[in-house]
Structure 1
Amino acid sequence: MTTQDTLNLPLLHLADFSEDETSPAAERFVEQLRTTCHEVGFFYLVGHGVPTQLNDDLQRVSKEFFSQPVEERMAIAMDNSPHFRGYTPFKGEQTNGQSDLRDEIDFGPERAAVPNSTVPYERLIGPNQFPDSVPELRSVVLAWQREMDRLGRTVLRAVARALGQDPAILEDWVSPHAEDTIKLVRYAAPTEEDNSNQGVGRHRDFGILTFVLQDEVGGLEVEREGDLVSAVPVPGAFVVNLGEMLQLLTHGYFKATVHRVVSPPTGIERYSCIYFFNPRLDATLSPLNLPTALQRNAPGGESDDASNPILATYGENILKVRLRAHPTTARAHHADLLQESPA
């Protein structure tokens, strides 16, 4: 049985909040959330209300896609999409300038492209690519996206309470819709030619909230007090962490925590389904006026990496990340932006 004593990260029960947001149990959840987001920036979330069957279906169709021949996977290659949607082959994405030992599919809000826009980040708006080889994947992904949007908004209301804010202030960031991203990821073991076991290199996430649905294979590691600890898989739980935008907005009172994924051992693959709950692209987020008791413990939310500034307008921040992480797609569709993006 999973208990807090056996885990390296806090375990929070969202049902205590969502069943009655005015109850004493909800207030206790908010206090737990405040402490966790200030001290750790990562936690397990149970009682979230996302149907187990839907999570199982998503993991099943994800594995079915990755089992397809490479030509079927490459039919929806991200390099086809100026909106950074679709399949990225093994080692096709980079973190800190080094290739990640994984392949993946990216999805976002299903919308029409904005032709001839003069706003660079509006190039990210557009349709998804779904594979003909796994027709069920489209309906499952879109159903999961709706459930995760509901979950993201619930947690965001709790975040507002934890920060002493009117929830309407934070809800405005994701209205009329969030700029969410879904990644279905497969991690593989290093080959003899690889000089690392970097499933994903050390990094912080870039938005507001990230929800990770892990399989039974470990590998996610989280920085705590200078050490990296394992976020062991907990059945039925999401691993949740905070992004850079929330760190910036809270003057660093809430922290975006460094983490990485270590490749699985030879003969084993790891699958992960990730939901990034992010502000709308044109949201320019101003730091919040925190209660005095919180403000005195806020060290400042700016990035300590001069080469990776946190930009206040979300669209500019995510475009910066996309151009860096997917160099071949960037060169194919956005060569004019590469010299303009932050170094």
Structure 2
Amino acid sequence: MVYSTSGSLPIDTLPVIDVSALVTAATDAARQQVAGNIRDACRAHGFFYVTNHGVSATLVERLETLSRQFFSLDETEKMRWRMALGGRAWRGYFPLGGELTSGRPDWKEGLYLGTELPDDHPLVQAGTPVHGRNLFPDVPQFKDTILEYMDAVTALGHQLMEGIALSLDLPAGYFSERYTTDPLILFRLFNYPSQQVPEGLDVQWGVGEHTDYGLLTILLQDHIGGLEVKTPGGWLAAPPIPGAFVCNIGDMLDHMTGGWYRSTPHRVVRNTSGHDRLSFPLFFDPNFFARVQRIEGLPAVPDPDDSASRWDQANIHAFNGIYGDYLLDKVSKVFPELRREVL
């Protein structure tokens, strides 16, 4: 049994990995030790906690406080920054039940964000989907806090991907040289209210079963749990650990490794705690135009096609194209009413 850094919370299966050797000038041996722990976690579950990651606790606290201020606004006020105003950038606020998983509404509200690009940026000028300006609510210090947080966690993402490369016996810069020199960064603020679902609305989960699309998700949870991970033995709770992020690999890393590392389904139960629950996933993904290729030389998986048991019955190993194509196919199902904006 592994315990959290607080010494009080037992984690029966999901490992807790001290990644300080990846974020400091550590020895090669220390980095390889962390890489080995990451390898074990990715092979077993595709999920792991990271501690001693270097992201400021003060910054995290400020993000949580300001997010609660935003979500406490009246819905009419929050809709001033609705996603319909974000256009092809796919940014902005969506209300409760406004996001779908497998065609059913999730019981959460959220704010979609990403790398901030000015209107005169070449990618914006070219109309590239999911690239552009954010819609920042009028909450004092909110914009600066969000941008600072995204920068800090993106830097951590680069460091963790070096650890993942080492875990596959690849050069540390393997992913940065091929896919993430300019990663696609998408960031979400989610609020799961503790309130009754209106009668007649087909809602069962905070978020239904799904896998993430890209390389690596770095999730900050508040003190209220709800995340569950699918394992061969059943659904396993992934409770919050103070000062830790939860990381999980996405479909593209599964695709690149030929199923050697699997993108694991997960879900979020409906919040019945009596208090609103916040979560902050940052998706560290390949560049929009990166053509995702199989990594040569990894151990062969007898049958990498697990579509029969996947939540969406998709064979991610049949995908052949740029990451942006895969992403757009997925997100257009999450917000079907916005599909025409990007396709």
- Fold shared, TM-score > 0.5 on shorter chain: yes
| Letter paired with 2:99 | E
CA pair 61-273 structure 1, distance change in 2 beyond 3 A = same
Report whether the alignment pairs 1:158 with 2:163: yes
Q: Distance in 2 between matches of 1:9 and 1:124?
A: 32
How far residue 68 of structure 1 moved from its aligned partner, in angstroms, is: 1.1
Deviations 1:14-35 (A, max 9, x none): 0133334534332221111111
1:214/1:273 contact within 8 Å kept? yes
Deviation of the 1:327 alpha carbon: 1.6
> 8 Å contact 1:221–1:231 — kept in the other structure?
yes
| Partner Cα distance (2:300, 2:204) in 1 | 40
Corresponding residue to 2:334 among 320, 325, 336: 325
Aligned partner of 1:108 in structure 2 is 114
Change over 3 Å in CA distance of 1:298–1:76 after alignment to 2:
farther
Residue pair 1:253, 1:298 contacting (<8 A) in 2 also: no
Q: Normalized against structure 2, the TM-score is what?
A: 0.89
Give the match for residue 10 of structure 1: 15
2:291–2:323 contact (8 Å) kept in structure 1:
yes
Please state if 1:300 is matched with 2:304. yes
Q: Relative to structure 2, which stretch is displaced further, 315-324 or 213-222?
A: 315-324
Shift of the 245–21 alpha-carbon distance from structure 1 to 2, 3 Å rule, reads farther
1:33-112 alignment runs, 5 A limit: 33-82=38-87, 83-112=89-118
Provide closer, same or farther for how the CA distance between residues 151 and 265 of structure 1 changes in structure 2, counting only shifts above 3 A. Answer: same
Q: 1:90 to 1:4 in 2, by over 3 A?
A: closer
Q: 1:269: how far off?
A: 1.5
Shift of 1:317: 1.2
Change (3 A) 1:301 1:30: farther
Separation in structure 2 between the aligned mates of residue 171 and residue 115 of structure 1, nearest angstrom:
23
Map of 1:240 onto structure 2: 247
User: In the comparison of the two structures, how many residue pairs are matched?
Assistant: 327
**Cα distance in 1, alignment partners of residues 260 and 12 from structure 2:** 24
Report Cα offsets for 1:19-67 as digits up to 9, x if no partner: 3453433222111111110111001110100000011111111111101
SS in 2 for 1:180: strand
Deviations 1:240-273 (A, max 9, x none): 0000000000011111000000011163211111
1:221 counterpart = 2:228: yes
Aligned residue identity for 2:208:
G
Percent same amino acid at aligned positions? 30
User: 1:248–1:302: 8 Å Cα contact kept in structure 2?
Assistant: no
- Mapped to 2, the partners of 1:153 and 1:136 lie a distance apart of 26
What corresponds to 1:249 in structure 2? 256
Q: What is the aligned partner in structure 2 of residue 313 from structure 1?
A: 322
Equivalent residues of 1:94, 1:325 under 8 A apart: yes
Quote the RMSD (CA, aligned, Å). 2.2
C-alpha separation in 2, matches of 1:182 and 1:6: 27
What do residues 99-155 of structure 1 show as CA deviations (whole Å, max 9, x unaligned)? 0000000111111454674x8xx22221111112x1311100100111011100000
The code of the aligned residue for 1:15 comes to: S
Q: Distance in 2 between matches of 1:7 and 1:153?
A: 28
Alpha-carbon spacing, 1:318–1:9, altered in 2? closer, same or farther (3 Å):
same
Q: Is the partner of 2:324 in helix, strand or coil?
A: helix
**What is the alpha-carbon distance in structure 2 between the residues aligned to residue 303 and residue 20 of structure 1?**
41
Structure 1 residues 188, 4: closer, same or farther in 2, change over 3 A? closer
Are the equivalent residues in 2 in contact too, given 1:188–1:199 (CA < 8 A)? no
